Structure 1
Amino acid sequence: MGSTLRARCARFTVVVGAAALAVAVQAGPAAAIEGGASAQLDEFPWMALLNYTTSSGNSFRCGGSLIGNRYVVTASHCLRNAQGSTVRLGSTRLDSGGTTVGVSRVVTYPGFDPSTMDNDIAVLQLATPVSAGVAASVALPSQGSDPVAGTTAELSGWGATSPLSAAPSPDLLHSAVAVESRTLCQSENAGHPVGLDQLCAERPGESACEGDGGDPLVAGGVLLGIQSFHRDALLLDPGHCRAATSPDVYTNVGQYMDWINSVVSAG
């Protein structure tokens, strides 16, 4: 997942006004990593591939992370109008290997705002538990934790690898990126607000791309972020991934641990 890890799970229509940037999101494909390197399963054993069909009959993919043995956390924008979702775990291949599990319950964060992409997080309950031999859970941060600027983390996913094509990578890719301060991130994203519920990360020449929506951002085995959007994709088109111009924006998982725990406890 190199320079093209873009949010493929969503198509963006953007209206730019004099005072604000409004982003309308429709269900669509996720993003892939542009400029990334091939990943091994034991490096990212929590990596999940979400396949779903929308109410209009279109099929799309997003990334996700296994938490526990029966839940997957992903981006809320991936699941708008989603029907017939399945999750595949235990493979680095896009279309083969691993174990496919049905989804019995989908819980999107009640405050998700597609106009700002705030609260872009969701939890899927799997129909059956995943055995330890298939996949392993990612560790979760403590409630209220906030990654320090400069922290190095790994982004992984099957997103597109070129800004000129929306085709996903056939193999899992990964890229090392650095967490960026919100002040710098906001200035590089044309003033688009970046709140505590979000975090930014980038690496020159590499980024998320079409098909990378919901992908995990992990440091030291701990899930820091969930790939949400990239300004260039918003301003230009869903498959446009130019990593060098602005950072990717992620949902800050540490701000949602109380909610995640409540969803799991209710299951």
Structure 2
Amino acid sequence: MKRRYFIIILKSIELKFIEKLVIEEESPRNPKFIDSPRQEFLCSHGSICIRLSQCHIISQLVKQSCVQIDKLRGLTCGSQGSELLVCCPQTCSPPPTSIQKEECGRPRISHLWSTSYSAIGIHPWVVRVGFRNKLTKSIDYLCCGSIINKQTILTAAHCALAKTATHKIVSVKVGEYDCNQDPDCAYGYCAPNAEDIPLNYIIVHPNYDSKTFTDNIALLVLKYPMNYTESVQPICLYSTNKDYIYVGHRAQLVGWGKLAGQVNSLPVQQQLQLPISAIERCALLYGASVPITGKHLCVGGETGKDACSGFGGAPLIFLDPRTHSRYYQIGLLSFGSDRCGEEGIPSVYTRVDKYIDWINLNAPKV
């Protein structure tokens, strides 16, 4: 049996930046950033590194003076500002409350439900992630993400931690459709201007591994809440960690970047319908290099249909088959092969519903 090998590509930073990409921690002098991909070595299996105030069982024991100081030190895994981070047992914590309290997953412009419409406002939850060029001071948008509430963006950990010699993550742009227009106008309608919102802090999954892309998911918390408009809306997340069966369905990748067959990235938001395959298909292709598990989705593999660069962290959108009236995010683009758009070569996505408890626990409630 002939073994096939692939170069795994992070589908985010444009190809000219790929070779310079360095995944590293933010400076420990900045306590607002929880972004160490090595915190998994500080907590035992079955526990996660979170703020003491978020760990119900340990915080209650501390209040009741049931935990000796020396034993509490043994449970710590770092700090965030003035607050301790502790290894919290996942099985003992109460279920987190949902961070989605408003309407989600429904575009506001009524004529969007025409099957032929695919322009301004069709996917108002997709954002561009901005990196400041240290040389020119301009902002280059090299990754994508999605709005899950007024102050939180969901994206890939490799985007949140990405640095080059010249670029560093600083902001997100909401309300964008055509990068060459501001405001975006179509069919006699003009959307509100797109807005760049600076980041306050970043939360990367504590088990993220930059070598294997395990738990490749992160939250970008904004300095201030965004205003919802026709072109700025949150996407829905499935509320429980049930085993939804997506295999055999098609979903839509949405973002900005270069698709298979394109010489350059297009300035407009792009949408690509892709098939969802059994996870074993991706395990066969990539399993010799990286672990492929049930926390992934295996997507694509059709000739000429793939995201080649710029789409890192972009959402995989699923129209709920029960109602056909609400969109949900089921995945975010993690990595793929250098053989972009080749028949039989799918890409790997982080499966979002496997992280819903972590998202609800860590995203700010606004």
Q: Which residue of the other structure, out of 233, 236, 241, is the alignment partner of 1:144?
A: 241
Shift of 1:215: 0.4
Answer yes or no: is 1:130 the counterpart of 2:226: yes
1:8 aligns with 2:3: no
Contact 2:260 2:305 in 1 (8 A): no
CA distance in 1, matches of 2:160, 2:133: 8
- Counterpart of 1:51 (choices 130, 137, 140) is 130
- The equivalent of 2:271 in structure 1 is 174
Shift of residue 163 of structure 1? 5.7
Give the counterpart letter for 2:279 in structure 1.
Answer: R
Q: Is contact 1:65–1:73 with CA below 8 Å preserved after alignment? A: yes
Q: Which segment drifts farther, 57-66 or 209-218? A: 57-66
CA contact (8 A) 2:152 2:364 kept: no
5 Å-filtered alignment, 1:29-108, equals 39-53=118-132, 59=140, 61-82=142-163, 83-94=168-179, 96-97=181-182, 98-108=194-204
Instruction: Report if the CA contact (8 A) 2:214-2:291 is conserved.
Output: no
Q: CA RMSD in A?
A: 3.0
The one-letter amino acid paired with 1:170 is P
Shift of residue 264, structure 1, vs aligned partner: 1.6
For the 8 Å contact 1:210–1:241, the answer to whether it is kept is no
Q: Write the distance in 2 (CA, Å) between the matches of 1:245 and 1:207.
A: 11
Q: Once the two structures are superposed, what CA deviation does each residue of 1:71-125 show, in whole Å capped at 9, x if it has no partner?
A: 1000000122553511111121235531111111111111111111110000011
Alignment equivalent of 1:120, drawn from 210, 216, 233: 216
- Give the drift of 1:42: 2.4
Cα offset, 1:164, TM superposition: 7.2
Instruction: Give the letter for the 1:78 counterpart.
Output: C
Counterpart CA distance in 1 for 2:262 and 2:269 is 19
Please say which structure displays the higher CA radius of gyration.
2
2: CA distance, partners of 1:67 / 1:108: 16
Larger mean CA deviation between 144-153 and 51-60 belongs to 51-60
Q: Corresponding residue for 1:218? A: 317
Q: Does 1:227 align with 2:333?
A: yes
Q: CA offset at residue 246 of structure 1?
A: 1.0
Determine if contact 1:217/1:224 at 8 Å carries over to the other structure. yes
Q: Which runs of 5+ in 2 are unaligned?
A: 1-8, 24-115, 183-193, 320-326
**Amino acid of the structure 2 residue aligned with 1:93:** D
Query: What SS does the aligned partner of 1:256 have?
Result: helix
Work out the CA distance in 1 between the residues paired with 2:195 and 2:119.
Answer: 16
Shift in Å, 1:43: 1.9
Contact 2:150 2:227 in 1 (8 A): yes
After TM superposition, the score normalised by the length of structure 1 is 0.77
Provide the aligned length of Structure 1 versus Structure 2. 236
Distance 2:270 2:144 in 1: 12
Q: Secondary structure at the match of 1:186?
A: helix
Give, in whole Å, the separation in 2 of the partners of 1:217 and 1:177: 9
Q: What secondary structure does 1:227 align onto?
A: strand
Q: So what's the TM-score if we normalise by structure 2?
A: 0.58
Q: 1:46 to 1:218 in 2, by over 3 A?
A: same
In the superposition, relative to structure 1, how do residues 229 and 86 fare at CA in structure 2: closer, same or farther (>3 Å)? same
- Superposed CA offset, 1:176-235 (max 9, x none): 1111111122223364531122111115120121111000001011110010000x23xx
C-alpha distance in 1 between matches for 2:265 and 2:244: 29
Q: CA offset at residue 242 of structure 1?
A: 2.9
Distance in 1 between residues matched to 2:169 and 2:313, nearest whole Å: 17
Change (3 A) 1:147 1:94: farther
Contact (CA 8 Å) 2:216, 2:350: kept in 1 or not?
yes
In structure 1, distance between residues paired with 2:156 and 2:133 = 15
Instruction: Name which of structure 1's ranges 60-69 and 212-221 shifts more when overlaid on structure 2.
Output: 60-69
Of 90-99 and 200-209, deviating more is 90-99
- 1:125-179 CA distance string (max 9 Å, x none): 11221212140100001332344211211101111134674x4221111111111
Code of the aligned partner of 1:63 = C
Counterparts of 1:90 and 1:110, CA distance in 2? 30
Q: Which has the higher contact order (CA 8 A, sep 6+)?
A: 1
Which residue of structure 1 aligns with residue 258 of structure 2?
160
